[in-house]
Structure 1
């Protein structure tokens, strides 16, 4: 099934939810080896029905913040055999404990699910052969520590063009170094980025967030981006647009205390102006600001919790071992 998801993400979600079941069953029928378990996004509730009909245990994988789904009625989850979270226990302990009390099957926080194993321990350093280092990493290598604001608005949804004009102008006029990953906003930088900015069409997000020169992340608060910034210990400027992004931003600001909220702007008189944005960015990246210093310390604590969870014998590492043991021993059948 082919679908132009970047052009119509809501339509893509609808197609996956309503038209994917039959092709998926056809795929199962073609497999030579028996399927011991299915791991499926909780959003795809039809997968649980497929698994139950075929006597295949299903692990429902929450790919968004745990709290977001906990506040909603998800009737099909109770029919699964396992529940997996991309979060880590220490990131959402009260919610995970509450869910454990309401489900009779195993729950496993396995996160933060970020591709940390792909990180090169020397990724912050320029090599002798700069041809092998992407331009954006070469640029980051030349910037002072914690001086760069990384800006990424997500892959599918964005603010209005009028608001984007203000954001671009505000960031550019702030006098703060920035790396902007653009899906289409590059044309907005017709006047250039100045000496302090770089605009690229794509970058390795986790590698950038873990770079020593990156001191802040302007994000739409998608859960994957949120987890990657938490793993990297980078404070966030939260600019949510839709779905779980608003609750994710509350997690960032109120629970973890590692971010500030960008004031919500709309068309017309309610736009967040370039002057407001420039002032916000300047304050957020001010290393001498007491509030910023405290926020960076909190971000470091969250980073340590994330890395402890995925370390050998950490909570998530142990949970993954338990889950694989359950599957291999066929407990759910």
Structure 2
């Protein structure tokens, strides 16, 4: 296919669901605006999608989009490891490998894509956490777009790490508890809200190396796109815009007019919860899920399990393989599923959007992954926050302190079932959590307004397209 002069996005997502989902929808959004898009999936992710669907032939998540006339292409690249390698249980080893070995694979596939169609005006869109994007973009003389899939607050804390260092807060000593008010665009943030990789105990971890390798490259990006809403993080985004163009274009998964994929983006088989929910009264069910990646202790899982029972609130709990830190451990306490009877529904995985939009669901006990937070806000569902790692403690700060649409699961350092039950009863009793529910409704309205044709996210996306075209036109090349 020859498409002379058309802009062509070469898009690389990080291979975890919280990054894959917004990347797929961003690819569709670009294609709807007339861009050619090549979505570069990792081979093991593509294999998981095929295995889950039990397809006998190859699958294509963009087949429906192409039928509707969009020029969106799909290719795969190896991460250099065998398909059977368990990337979740060996996450640290996996990302150590990716830091060292994946840049060469990415370089090779970008070069191959560019040389296959030299008439297109290519540019790179890579998840910000990839630490090779600027080097590869410079090598091929193409524009470099950084796609940030977490809140702007997290981005800003990393971006201002040297300012934190100058003030003695990076790496932050683990026992320091201080309020910080000197970061541009951030009115106040407490050290307890820091991501773990900003703490002293994490400086030798792979997460630390991954983040700060990536942000050395990020400083050379031409544009930064944020999967957030301007009205919710306006001061932080304004503080960042003095460095380079930053555009809040979220929540990208809820952009208007995106084609429907007949192939599910989920990497796990899903249980249909609709029939169970249909028998429940409005706002009576607590949805519980800790995402696809994080792990916690057997003790914490047991306290949550019996806290749910003590609360006497109906619940759906996603209990996936690998949720406990011990790879071989049975996740739930012995006999637990017999104890719950009709009080709850335990599933290995489900369609989270369908659950959250169901009128029976009145609360979400969440690990505070950013995708989960955005989805809960979109449906106006208040949250009980149990952050475990990565950006989650900082996302909790936004949910509870800034937007006041949730509460903490525990107020101390350890989980206790009675306290868990009390927190669940508080949130699910709409007469006592009235303010939180009203705030959740207000945030929902702001998010939905942002993606309307005249909303802030659509305006920002249009401005990004204009600025990208202007940059390419002004240089006469894709760089």
Global fold match (TM > 0.5): yes
Aligned residues: 313
Paired residues of 2:318 and 2:348 also in contact (CA < 8 A): yes
2:109 maps to what in 1? 27
In structure 2, which of residues 426, 439, 454 is the aligned counterpart of residue 298 of structure 1? 439
Question: Residues 258-282 of structure 1: CA distance to partner in whole angstroms, max 9, x if unpaired?
Answer: 000112666xxxx422122112111
Compared CA separation, residues 228 and 17, structure 1 to 2 (3 A) = farther
| Aligned 1:247-286 pairs, distance under 5 A | 247-263=394-410, 271-286=414-429
Compared CA separation, residues 35 and 170, structure 1 to 2 (3 A) = farther
Taking the aligned partners of 1:148 and 1:118, their CA distance within structure 2 comes to 31
Q: Give the Å deviation of 1:313.
A: 2.1
Q: Give the Å deviation of 1:225.
A: 1.0
Paired residues of 1:36 and 1:327 also in contact (CA < 8 A): no
Question: Residues 135-186 of structure 1: CA distance to partner in whole angstroms, max 9, x if unpaired?
Answer: 4111112211111100001212222101110110110221101011111376
1:68 maps to what in 2? 154
In structure 2, which of residues 99, 102, 105 is the aligned counterpart of residue 17 of structure 1? 99
- After TM superposition, where is structure 1 displaced by more than 6 Å over at least 4 residues in a row? 116-119
Question: Residues 20-78 of structure 1: CA distance to partner in whole angstroms, max 9, x if unpaired?
Answer: 11111211232222462111111113111110121111111111121112112434323
Unpaired stretches in structure 1, ≥5 consecutive residues: 120-132
Compared CA separation, residues 117 and 164, structure 1 to 2 (3 A) = farther
Paired residues of 2:254 and 2:451 also in contact (CA < 8 A): no
2:284 maps to what in 1? 147
2:140 maps to what in 1? 54
Compared CA separation, residues 57 and 309, structure 1 to 2 (3 A) = same
With structure 2 as the length reference, what TM-score do the two structures score?
0.61
Any idea what SS the aligned residue of 1:102 has?
A: coil
2:206 maps to what in 1? none
Taking the aligned partners of 2:89 and 2:216, their CA distance within structure 1 comes to 31
In structure 1, which of residues 172, 196, 205 is the aligned counterpart of residue 309 of structure 2? 172
1:112 maps to what in 2? 251
Larger displacement relative to structure 2 (219-228 or 133-142): 133-142
In structure 2, which of residues 223, 246, 261 is the aligned counterpart of residue 82 of structure 1? 223
Taking the aligned partners of 2:217 and 2:402, their CA distance within structure 1 comes to 29
With structure 1 as the length reference, what TM-score do the two structures score?
0.87
Taking the aligned partners of 1:18 and 1:115, their CA distance within structure 2 comes to 35
Any idea what SS the aligned residue of 1:64 has?
A: coil
RMSD of aligned alpha carbons = 2.3
